[in-house]
Structure 1
Amino acid sequence: MTGSVQWQNIDLGMNESNRKRITTWGDDFYTTIDYCYETDMILVKLSFNLNWKNSNTKHPQSEFGEKEF
């Protein structure tokens, strides 16, 4: 069994990384928009293998015996 944890975009919202502000103004208006491209993400991965290494499997025999290859 194996596991891993991955943390992407590490700033916890404290830094202004991955953010963009667009400000537009004219004679009768003023607007500003804040974009946050990606938030913090935590990825957890667990995987396991169901194949046992010490299994007693029997493979079919060839017509020519073990010296075929």
Structure 2
Amino acid sequence: MLTNYAFHHLCLLVVKLVKTVVITQSHTVARFANRQDADDHLRFLRRTIPNGGFEIMFEPPDDVKKDFNI
């Protein structure tokens, strides 16, 4: 059984699909609750826009962002 703390952190896992503009910049295209949905959408985008430069990134939860000043 998951504790409230563990369940809270599992629910906050966000996978986002980004389009890289240059090495230091990226734009969020979509956010997903699980990796499989992100992979499926990435496969679709790569078929329709072959030179798009799309990648999958994990977005850390807000408390991790706060701890590392992201």
Q: TM-score, normalised by structure 2?
A: 0.30
Which of the two has greater helix per residue?
A: 2
